[in-house]
Amino acid sequence: MIKKVYIDGLLLALSYEATKVFIKKNDVYIKFKEDLEENKEILELVQGLGIDKVIGDYTVSIDFEFMILEIHKKYDFKVLRKLGKDDIDKIWTITMVDVDQLMTKEAKE
């Protein structure tokens, strides 16, 4: 897995091209603003990073339009976070901190 700061940068750039990103175990889906041929290459690049492997059984949804981060486990809501304008450049770091806290909490239970 590459450093979180690089994924943060990629998601920052992606926020100009996409409205939402859905990440679940073994799958990444990106809803782009425009239907362009190069979007397929962007999706393959994001899938190649392996970010879907590090979130465990959680599903992550990042809404760039409304700046909302959602984390679910199966059908249970775990985290709903409104992201501020200063959070856009560290979305993945924030996501991984929240997922790590959830995994730690579950391990203790």
Instruction: State if pTM tops 0.85.
Output: yes
Host domain of residue 103: 1-107
Confidence of residue 1 (pLDDT cuts 50, 70, 90): low
Look at residues 100, 105, 99 and name the one whose alpha carbon lies nearest to residue 62: 99
Mark 36-48 as b/e (b = at least 16 C-beta within 10 Å).
Answer: eeebeebbeebbe
16, 20, 24, 29: CA torsion to nearest 10: -80
Number of domains in the chain: 1
Q: What is the pLDDT of residues 59-103, one digit of tens each?
A: 999 999 999 999 999 889 999 999 988 898 999 999 999 999 999
Q: What is the pLDDT of residues 46-63, one digit of tens each?
A: 999 889 999 989 999 999
Structure letter (DSSP) for residue 52 = T
Model pLDDT, residue 80: 93
